Amino acid sequence: MPLKSLAAAFIEFSRWKLLDEYWPRLRACVESLSDEQVWWRANEASNSVGNLILHLNGNVNQWLVAPFDHRARTSAIAQLNSRSGK
């Protein structure tokens, strides 16, 4: 398989996995929680579900969007900063 075809197949498979498989599952799980549950932490060393979602969003933007659009990374950083009060 030529390199371009392999790259296109990988992108298509990744897009399908993220949008059609992972996203609906993740969304259903988070929507079943209250706001309090989303931001609850067991202790100071733990992350909340909401914080993990923000990190996932940043990683998706960094690795899948930002290579094509530098504004995505800037937006992700601004979103994290607004959440943390920076």
Q: How far is CA 54 from CA 5, 78, 82, in A?
A: 32, 12, 12
Question: What is this structure's pTM?
Answer: 0.58
pLDDT at 69: 65
Q: In the predicted model, is pLDDT for residue 81 greater than 70? A: yes
pLDDT at 70: 60
Q: What is the pLDDT of residues 8-67, one digit of tens each?
A: 888 889 888 888 999 899 999 999 999 999 999 999 999 999 999 999 888 777 766 666
Measure the CA–CA gap between 63 and 41, rounded to whole angstroms. Answer: 27
Closest CA to 38 of 25, 22, 52, 56: 52
pLDDT at 68: 64
pLDDT at 18: 84
